[in-house]
Amino acid sequence: MTALTIDRINKRYGNLHILKDISIPIGQGEFVSLLGPSGCGKTTTLRCIAGFERPDTGRILFGERDVTRALPEQRDIGMVFQSYALFPHMTVAENLSFGLEVRKVAPADRQRRIADVLAMVRLEGYDKRYPRELSGGQQQRVALARALVIEPSVLLLDEPLANLDATLRDEMRFFIRDLQQRVGITSIYVTHDQAEAMVMSDKIVVMNAGTISQFGSPREIYERPASQSVAGFIGRSNTISGKIAEALGQDGYKVETPCGSIGATGPAGLSKGAEVKIMIRPENISTRSQAASGHQQGAGAEEAGSGENVLAGSVVNSVYQGSANQLAVKLGSGDRVIVDVNGRNPLEVGEQVALRFAARDTWLLAS
């Protein structure tokens, strides 16, 4: 069942087209992130859902109810702002009480719900404090509690962790996600931090310049990006250009590249001769010193029928990072490939290496 439907909304400011036909179906209890570079329209989308902006065309449905024209206070939302937006002249308890008073909840009930939600965000005993007497992380949790205490049908969060330091941010990611799952509330989360979106979300909406580049689970987006821009935005990736030489079954292809023929996986329906880029994630490539592997330099890329590809290259850069070290390898074709290696057998700059990766770990992107 869809809890929230965003149906082809468009938004213009003057002659700037900010949102272009945005459609997102969101299931009950799902945690959906809006992810994209600065200025791509994430906040605008969220504000349309909240009712602070009105889309020029398109509809927004909460369940079956069309709220496109409803005022924010009529929508039954909880919202967490980047600046927290706590009421500075009210104590924590009064901040939480506000939404309940508006809803005419009886005083005894109010007390109980405030106590419950304060326990949930681990802030028991802080009810008499003023926001200025709290740390950033505590204010953040009060903001979360204030949004949750009214038990809204949708929780909206606009970069709530952007003002926290890195350690606290990591902690709060899991805290928010855990809380969201316990309460089971449908949530929409705006961020431009891809790592945050990856660890927290059920689904990610990757946005770019007012359009949706891809909508899917973190795994789909990471392993099967829809375009080069998505692949580049989510995690690190290598690409090798080539042409489809042959389709093998549903999603297997043989791709002709300057380094030889490579077996790769890709979306169904790519036609022979199409220009493509082969995407390989750095952690999916294994290396072996050329001398040890016994391979001849410039040997054919794919080991026939095995689904394994082997490319030769030379190390041009090696970065020590402690646990996972990084190598930059220059291929015969001139392409540079980034590879993750473990620290135990470091390779020197200038050394010849064989790069090995499976066809199922690659993904073809239209160029």
Partner 1 sequence: MTGATSGVEKTIWDRLFTVLVAAIYIFLMFPIVLVVLLSFNSGEFLAFPLEGFSLRWFEALFSNKRFLDATLYSIQIAATSTIVNAVIGTLAAIYVARHATVARDYIRLIMTAPLLVPEILTAIALLFYFYEIRIGTDYSIGIQIGHIVVTFPYVFLNVSSALFNFDRSQEEAARSLGAGGWMTFRRVTLPAIKPGIITGCLFAFVISFDIFNISLLLKSLGSNTLPLELFDYLRFNFDPTAAAIASLSIFMTFAAILIIDRTVGLRSLRF
Ligand X SMILES: Nc1ncnc2c1ncn2[C@@H]1O[C@H](COP(=O)(O)OP(=O)(O)OP(=O)(O)O)[C@@H](O)[C@H]1O
- Give the residues lining the site for ligand X (CB under 6 A): 13, 16, 18, 36, 38-44, 192
Token pair for residue 362?
A: 């690659």
Distances (CA, A) of 132 to 89, 91, 106, 208: 9, 10, 28, 37
Residue 270 is given by DSSP the state: P
User: Within 10 Å of residue 98's Cβ, how many Cβ atoms?
Assistant: 15
Q: Which is nearer to Mg ion, 43 or 239 (CB)?
A: 43
81 binds, among Mg ion, partner 1, ligand X, none (CB under 5 to 8 A by kind): partner 1
Binding residues among 37-56 for partner 1 as defined by CB under 8 A: 50-52
Q: Which is nearer to ligand X, 16 or 106 (CB)?
A: 16
What is the nearest approach in angstroms of partner 1 to the Cβ of residue 93? 14
161 binds, among ligand X, Mg ion, partner 1, none (CB under 5 to 8 A by kind): none
What is the nearest approach in angstroms of partner 1 to the Cβ of residue 146? 7
Alpha-carbon gap, residue 58 to 39, rounded angstroms = 21
146 binds, among Mg ion, ligand X, partner 1, none (CB under 5 to 8 A by kind): partner 1
* Residue window 69-88: x/- pattern of binding to partner 1, with contact defined by CB under 8 A: --xxx-xxxxx-x-x-xxxx
* Residue window 3-42: x/- pattern of binding to Mg ion, with contact defined by CB under 5 A: ----------------------------------------
Q: Does 150 bind partner 1 (CB under 8 A)?
A: yes
103 binds, among ligand X, Mg ion, partner 1, none (CB under 5 to 8 A by kind): partner 1
Please answer whether residues 23 and 205 qualify as being in contact, where contact means their C-beta atoms are separated by less than 8 angstroms.
no
What is the nearest approach in angstroms of ligand X to the Cβ of residue 319? 29
Q: Does 147 bind partner 1 (CB under 8 A)?
A: yes
Beta bridge partners of 234: none
40 binds, among ligand X, Mg ion, partner 1, none (CB under 5 to 8 A by kind): ligand X
Please answer whether residues 204 and 187 qualify as being in contact, where contact means their C-beta atoms are separated by less than 8 angstroms.
no
What is the nearest approach in angstroms of partner 1 to the Cβ of residue 153? 12
79 binds, among Mg ion, partner 1, ligand X, none (CB under 5 to 8 A by kind): partner 1
Q: Does 43 bind Mg ion (CB under 5 A)?
A: yes
Q: Which is nearer to partner 1, 53 or 196 (CB)?
A: 53
Nearest to 280 by CA among 266, 297, 296: 266
Question: If 0-12 CB within 10 Å is exposed, 13-18 middle and 19+ buried, where does residue 283 land?
Answer: middle
41 binds, among Mg ion, ligand X, partner 1, none (CB under 5 to 8 A by kind): ligand X
Chain residue at closest Cβ approach to ligand X: 43
Q: Which is nearer to partner 1, 116 or 246 (CB)?
A: 116
Chain centroid, CA 179 distance in Å: 19
User: Within 10 Å of residue 133's Cβ, how many Cβ atoms?
Assistant: 12
Please list the helix, strand and coil fractions of the chain in percent, rounded to the nearest 5, in that order. Answer: 30, 40, 35
DSSP 307-363: TEEEEEEEEEEEE--SSEEEEEEEETTS-EEEEEEETTS---TT-EEEEEEEGGGEE
DSSP 193-249: -HHHHHHH-SEEEEEETTEEEEEE-HHHHHHS-SSHHHHHHSS--EEEEEEEEEEET
Binding residues among 99-128 for partner 1 as defined by CB under 8 A: 99, 102-103
Alpha-carbon gap, residue 365 to 367, rounded angstroms = 6
What is the nearest approach in angstroms of partner 1 to the Cβ of residue 129? 17
What is the nearest approach in angstroms of ligand X to the Cβ of residue 242? 34
Q: Which residues bind partner 1 (CB under 8 A)?
A: 50-52, 71-73, 75-79, 81, 83, 85-89, 98-99, 102-103, 146-147, 150, 156
Kindly list the residues in this chain that would bind Mg ion in the complex (CB under 5 A).
43
